[in-house]
Amino acid sequence: MRIILKNLFLLVIFLALLLVFFEEICDIKYLHIQNIQQPKKRASLLAQATEYPSVTEQERCVQNTTAANITGFSTLPGHIQDFLYYRHCRFFPMLLNAPEKCGGAVNSADVFLLLVIKSSPGNYERREVLRKTWAEERLYNGVWIRRIFIVGTTPSGSDNKLLELENRVYKDILQWDFYDRFYNLTLKQVLFLEWMAKNCPNARFLFNGDDDIFANTDNMVLYLQSLKDNDGSKHLFTGNIVRNAGPFRFAWSKYYIPVQVYESNSYPPYLDGGGYLLSSYTALMIYYMSYTVSLIPIDDVYLAICLAKAGLGPKHHLGVRTRGMYIPSKQLDQHDPCYYKEILLVHGFAPHSLFIMWQSVHDPNLKCEHLRKSKEALSWVHRNMFDSYFRD
């Protein structure tokens, strides 16, 4: 009898482990669609659109098997095949939400700048540093800055659980039930825009960026407040503009885009995805146009395609350094906090370096007279930073 009970106990343990294994496997795949609310009419809708496109409730994401009939499909890498199988999927269940982040849809106009930060579940250290530096929620120069992190899921159940605990403390994370990887960045953006349209439609401006950048959000507020006749109700899409670019057709590239995904050999002018500023008008316009534009894996290009279809485009801002800080002189230190005191953002910071730079820039004893004394430094600063702040 003891032997039978022992074997029965071992069988139960085995089945439990097997169940956990299958749950982990499911995290790796594109996941199902569950209940989705039909977007409602809003008073803040764009002049070009009186209502958002309707969405079928309880729509489920199923594999589009006809994608296998695309010419050359069998020769494509596995991740591209997966993308084509599921590129029609736009609606995934929310695992973590912060519906009151902007004070509710009606009161969202009180948010002047919403920081929308692309992150991944395992990037806890980055998020924690950002909360203590440039992404700190605060009242600056009379207006409110709020933040939100947008993430997917990972195969690690522990990472997802820790993210849930993190959100209980900070209430600043949006998580959807899809696998968080590079080729799903566009999906992440579209899902955020849907969330914004429902929960934060009247926030004046947004900053959209990565979690490894140094952003001078104080300067962003000053720049946005300096705009003439634009309180967020008109088009604004500014950052580091990329022109005359096209898709990489080499399968070894991280940015590989075959003709089966995007036929044209050229992209419209777009903003480098490390970080950029946009008005709520522009964000909602992208959301509206996204219903008519098939997803492509490169999110910054996709946003530009949506805007181009609406007859809108990006503008360059010299204070946005998404390719890193480059100062063409051996006499000048590119890590001098005096330079970072004047720009909008620089891409490529480890958490500890970002924290140190933020503290240095905000040191009340920081002296920058050496820049004024150096003709070379002063010329570079004015040419690359100051003059760009108050130009669209």
Residues 341, 267, single domain; the answer is no
**What does the pLDDT read at residue 391?**
42
Final residue of a domain: which of 316, 338, 363? Answer: 316
Question: Is residue 13 included in any domain, yes or no?
Answer: no
Structure tokens at 240: 């580091």
> What 3-state class would DSSP assign to 71?
coil
Residues 374 and 339 in one domain: yes
On whether both 239 and 365 belong to a single domain, the answer is no
pLDDT higher than 70, residue 5: no
Residue 153 in contact with residue 85, Cβ under 8 Å?
Answer: no
Instruction: Please report whether residue 159 resides in a domain.
Output: yes
Where b means 16+ CB within 10 Å and e means fewer, 196-209 reads bbebbbbbbbbbbb
Does 100 share its domain with 144? yes
pLDDT digits (tens, 9 = 90+) for 11-22: 444 444 444 333
Is 59 part of a structural domain of the chain? no
118 and 176: one domain?
Answer: yes
Task: Give dist(CA 17, CA 286) in Å, integer.
Answer: 44
351 and 368 fall within a common domain: yes
Q: Give the number of other Cβ atoms within 10 Å of residue 74's Cβ.
A: 8
pLDDT attached to residue 327: 66
Same domain, 286 and 332: no
Domain span at 332:
324-389
Give the DSSP letter of residue 248: B
Count up the domains in the chain and report the number: 2
pLDDT score for 384: 52
Using pLDDT thresholds of 50, 70 and 90, give the confidence band for residue 373. low
Are both 368 and 305 inside the same structural domain? no
**What is the amino acid identity at position 245?**
A
Indicate the residue among 267, 287, 316 that finishes a domain: 316
Count how many Cα atoms sit within 13 Å of the Cα of residue 344 in the half-sphere of its side chain: 30
For the stretch 314-351, pLDDT in tens is 999 989 988 777 665 666 667 789 888 889 999 989 99
pLDDT-derived band of residue 10, with 50, 70 and 90 as boundaries? Answer: very low
Average confidence (pLDDT) over 126-137: 98
C-alpha neighbours within 13 Å on the C-beta side of residue 66: 1
165 within some domain: yes
Q: What is the CATH number of the domain that holds 130?
A: 3.90.550
pLDDT level of residue 91 (50, 70, 90 thresholds): confident
Kindly report, residue by residue over 380-392, the tens digit of the pLDDT. 454 554 444 434 4
H or E stretch covering 218: helix 217-226
Global pTM value: 0.82
Asked if pLDDT for residue 224 goes beyond 90, the answer is yes
The share of the chain scoring above pLDDT 70, in percent, equals 77
* 31 or 112, higher pLDDT: 112
Q: What is the mean pLDDT of residues 38-51?
A: 38
Specify whether 131 is located in the same domain as 277. yes
pLDDT at 42: 33
The answer as to whether 38 is a domain residue is no
State whether 310 and 328 are in the same domain: no
State residue 181's pLDDT score: 93
First-last CA distance in the chain: 82
Among residues 257, 288, 316, which one ends one of the domains? 316
Together in a domain, 228 and 358: no
- Exposed (0-12), middle (13-18) or buried (19+): which is 253, by Cβ within 10 Å? exposed
Q: Which residues of 329-364 are buried (b: 16+ CB within 10 A; e: fewer)?
A: eeebeeebbbbbbbbbbbbbbebeebbebbeebeee
Burial class (CB in 10 A: 0-12, 13-18, 19+), 185: buried
Phi, psi of 377 (to 5 degrees): -65, -45
Which residue has better confidence, 42 or 94?
A: 94
Is 14 domain-assigned?
Answer: no
Same domain, 202 and 258: yes
d(CA 388, CA 392): 8
Average pLDDT over residues 207-236: 96
pLDDT value of residue 34: 26
CA 62 to chain CA centroid, nearest Å: 25
Are 211 and 217 in contact, with CB atoms under 8 Å apart? no
| In a domain? residue 244 | yes
DSSP characters over 253-285: STTB--TTT---S-PPPEEEEEEEEEEHHHHHH
SS3 at position 180: coil
Residue 290: inside a domain: yes
